[in-house]
Structure 1
Amino acid sequence: MTALRKRITDEDGSILPLMLGYAVLAIAVIFACVCATDLYIAQKRLDSLADAAALAGSDGFALVVEGENARAVLSDAGVHEQAAAVVAAVPGDATLVSAEAPDGVTARVTVASTWHPPLFSPFVPDGVALEASATSRTALR
């Protein structure tokens, strides 16, 4: 009876499953952190692209001379042309969703992209849709 009791209460080797469980948990947390950081950087890059496209779009103005005064007027076509050139020049899968000049002096641009995780992780979704919008005003009014 004492041999059976000793065998039941013996804890030799019970640390190995616990260490394996913690190692798997640590790897999962590291993968999730790497993926979250990459997602954050991808969104910031898309924000920068939207800013650059809006800035370029605000340079697509036409000068209108009225008497002695000249003013810059933006058109939807001019903003779209300039913004599309910037988006096409940047490597990646970003697309120009919209580029418009709602009031004739402001360029409003929206770009979109899809993010894919850099590491395989069953806890992180694949193919997250990202979108960024930016506005810029023309310097000549």
Structure 2
Amino acid sequence: MQPGPDGLTVTVRDADVRAAALEHLGAVPHGSLEDLRLEHAGTPDGASAVVTLSAWWRPPVLTVFVPAGIRLEASSTARSVFR
């Protein structure tokens, strides 16, 4: 992150978003998720961070009906604004 010209705003960079997402993924347990992937991590506007993750989940009871599992994908956008 880079401070803005007025010192109050912060410019978010793609590399910073990706590094933070990878650091977090390395630090938290994945539970029963398989093949957890960081699909996207970046900033569309220099002020927001967008992260998309995907993984496979095999429900313990339904494996007969869905043996390959269920693909899950989650996206989140975060933005901090100082005034």
**What TM-score bracket applies, with the shorter chain setting the length?**
0.7 to 0.9
Deviation at 1:121, TM superposition (A): 4.8
1:62 counterpart residue number:
2
Correspondence list, 1:95-134, <5 A: 95-119=37-61, 121-122=63-64, 124-126=65-67, 127-134=69-76
Asked if structure 2 preserves the Cα contact closer than 8 Å seen for 1:74 and 1:101, the reply is yes
For 1:95 and 1:134, how far apart are their aligned partners in 2?
A: 14
Q: Which runs of 5+ in 1 are unaligned?
A: 1-60
Distance 1:130 1:121, change over 3 A: closer
Identity %: 34
Q: Secondary structure at the match of 1:131?
A: strand
**Higher strand proportion (structure 1 or 2):** 2
Deviation at 1:139, TM superposition (A): 3.6
1:87 counterpart residue number:
25
Aligned partner of 1:82: which letter?
A: A
Deviation at 1:81, TM superposition (A): 0.4
Q: Which has the larger radius of gyration?
A: 1
1:72 counterpart residue number:
10
When normalised by structure 1's length, the TM-score is 0.49
Deviation at 1:91, TM superposition (A): 1.6
**Higher helix proportion (structure 1 or 2):** 1
Q: Which runs of 5+ in 2 are unaligned?
A: none
When normalised by structure 2's length, the TM-score is 0.79
RMSD between aligned alpha carbons? 1.8
Deviation at 1:87, TM superposition (A): 1.4
Aligned partner of 2:73: which letter?
A: E
Asked if structure 2 preserves the Cα contact closer than 8 Å seen for 1:87 and 1:95, the reply is no
Hey, which bits of structure 1, 4+ residues long, moved more than 3 A? none
Q: Secondary structure at the match of 2:78?
A: strand
Aligned partner of 2:77: which letter?
A: T
